[in-house]
Amino acid sequence: MRGEPQPFTDLEGAATLSKDMTATDCSDETEPLNGAKKRDSNEQDLSLARRIAVIAVVAILAAFEGVCMSLPGPFFPPEAKKHGLTQSQIGIVAGSLDVSCLFFSFLVGSLTTPTNTKFVSISGTLLCSATISTFGLLNFVSGPGVYFTLCIFARALNGFGVAMTYAMFIPISLRCFPELAGLIQGIIQTCFCTGMFSGPIIGSALVPFGGYSAPFLVAGGLEALFSCIAILIFPPAAKSYSPTNHPNESEHYLKFFVTFSTMSVVIPSLVVFLMSGFRDAAYSLHFHEAIGIDLGSMGYVFASNALAATITGATVGVLVNQGYGVFVLICSQILTPVTAFVMFLPYLVPQLETKAWAVILLVVNGISIDGVINPFYLIMQNEAVRRGSGSLEQVRTFASSSFSVVMSSGRILGSVIFGGFFNEHLGYYFTCLIYAVIALLTLAWHVIFLARVGLLRRAYYPTSLEITK
């Protein structure tokens, strides 16, 4: 597929199944999409045990990424209040990770090649482990100005690490089992959500014994340990790589990302991720002030969000492999404005807000957010193929980086604008109402787009991709 992109009319038609790929194919050399099965000899002889070990280490590191992402939500806002930060400043700190992740996701998507994938992924996990540990130690810093600045700096560096790891986990895993794309995506997603579920519980368990810093130091130390194991387990980099081997490789990631068809998927999905940033910046303070949930119990309440996401991740993976990716995506987007409006209802009926109410909201939040991740990767992967990406490596990197960009952008707007500015000046309930209206409008845009291009039907993961001329 060269030259001008073909009309986007069929997800299944955008990629064909490669009949002769087997589970023993594992190559760090970029897999051409033109049918020529070119492989790097240094990867052909990887044993099944080592390929399984790669998946296991990736899954564990994905879980630790989830832990590090979920830890600040229940514990940082109340602690920041003690240090003199305003609600807007709390939102800025929460969003600084995602601003950094957004910027570096474009950079990673543009510059990553098979020769540096291993270096990028392990560097990312080591950076995440160092910065989450540092963020926990900032509790000992005095002075709101210094504390605020250092918190932003630590979370921004953490975002750089997240951008590297998110973009690389799937490509590294799929080199070992290219025919199991849907299953592997589901495994990584489920492990990440398991980490999100475990983070608040670990925090609530460790805070009484070691104080605010303890869970951050434990999570960072364990992630560093498994990053060192990954150095030994992950396959070596490709010996050489030249974009001239893949004529379409020169297409820049930004050029791929800003097309109207891509934006028609990106923006409605981004709005769903707003809820994640809003949650981290505003929920714990609101639950504490309106319901009276104490800091020791907050982690267990927040764990319900990630538990629902963990269960949803496994279920969504099965549904996507069965061909219901677009259906799952639309259902999750419908659930988002409904949930936001329900969050507004206690403004009219205050008696609704109880601890059980908070748990139910977090459960539904987890379901709606998690139902977007797997189908979104599917659609972006096929969009990359449709636009003539020159290698399987590029297709996977573009799709993974797009997820990082969308998640980061949504969390930035959710934490800084909704959880920070709107929440401080309009109040929690009217912020929820505004969010419900925006989610409803973008949902309508997405459904109209999908209807016009003929995608309101089944869509599934191809087992392996190749360009058809």
Instruction: Express each pLDDT in 241-270 by its tens digit.
Output: 444 444 444 356 667 777 787 788 888 888
Q: How many CB atoms lie within 10 A of CB 337?
A: 22
Residues near 53 by beta carbon (within 8 Å), at least 6 away in sequence: 233
pLDDT of 435 strictly over 90: yes
Helix ranges restricted to H, 45-177: 48-70, 72-82, 87-111, 117-137, 144-176
Tell me whether residue 462 is in a domain.
no
Instruction: Give residue 135's domain range.
Output: 41-240+249-452
Element holding 402 (H helix, E strand): helix 392-412
% of the chain surpassing 90 pLDDT: 5
Would you say 43 and 235 are in contact if contact means Cβ atoms under 8 Å apart?
yes
d(CA 251, CA 394): 10
- The pLDDT of residue 432 is 92
Where residue 414 sits, what CATH number does that domain have? 1.20.1250.20
pLDDT at 187: 78
The predicted structure's pLDDT at residue 242: 47
Which pLDDT value is given to residue 390?
56
Angle between helices 325-344 and 260-278 (to 10 degrees): 40
The total of structural domains in the chain comes to 1
- Using the structure block, give the residue that is written with the tokens 């960072």: 220
Q: Which residue has the tokens 């997800």?
A: 11
The SS3 assignment for 421 reads: helix
At residue 320 the predicted structure's pLDDT band, cuts being 50, 70 and 90, is confident
In a domain, 457, yes or no: no
Burial 89-121 (b: 16+ CB within 10 A, else e): bbbbbbbbbbbbbbbbbbebbbebbbbebbebb
Q: Which of 140-149, 155-164, 237-246 has the lowest mean pLDDT?
A: 237-246
Asked if residue 434 has pLDDT above 90, the reply is: yes
Contact call for residues 100 and 157 (beta carbons, < 8 A): yes
Q: Two tokens at 457?
A: 């039907």
Contact call for residues 43 and 28 (beta carbons, < 8 A): yes
What are the residues facing 391 on neighbouring strands?
Answer: 32
Residue 2 lies in a domain: no
Cα distance between residue 41 and residue 302, in whole Å: 48
List beta partners, residue 32: 391
The larger pLDDT score, comparing residue 77 to residue 374, is at 77
Give the integer Cα–Cα distance in Å for 450 and 456.
Answer: 6
CA–CA gap between residue 327 and residue 375 (Å, rounded) = 9
Q: What pLDDT, on a 0 to 100 scale, did the predictor assign at position 436? A: 93
pLDDT, residue 441, reads: 94
Per the domain annotation, does 445 fall within a domain? yes
For 139, which DSSP code? G
pLDDT above 50 (res 52):
yes
Inform me whether the pLDDT recorded for 332 exceeds 90.
no
Instruction: Check residue 261 and give its pLDDT.
Output: 77
User: Does residue 296 belong to any structural domain of this protein?
Assistant: yes
Of the candidate ranges 44-53, 240-249, 258-267, 439-448, the one whose mean pLDDT is the lowest:
240-249
Examine residue 11 and state whether it is found in any structural domain, yes or no.
no
Interhelix angle 295-321/72-82, rounded to 10 degrees, is 150
- Range from 217-221, 364-368, 397-401 that averages highest in pLDDT: 217-221
Cα angle vertex 283, ends 446, 62, to 5°?
Answer: 70
Residue 12 maps to a domain: no
> Does the pLDDT at position 11 exceed 70?
no
Band (458; pLDDT cuts 50, 70, 90):
low
**87 pLDDT above the threshold of 70:** yes
Is 388 part of a structural domain of the chain?
Answer: yes
pLDDT band of residue 212 (cuts 50, 70, 90) is confident
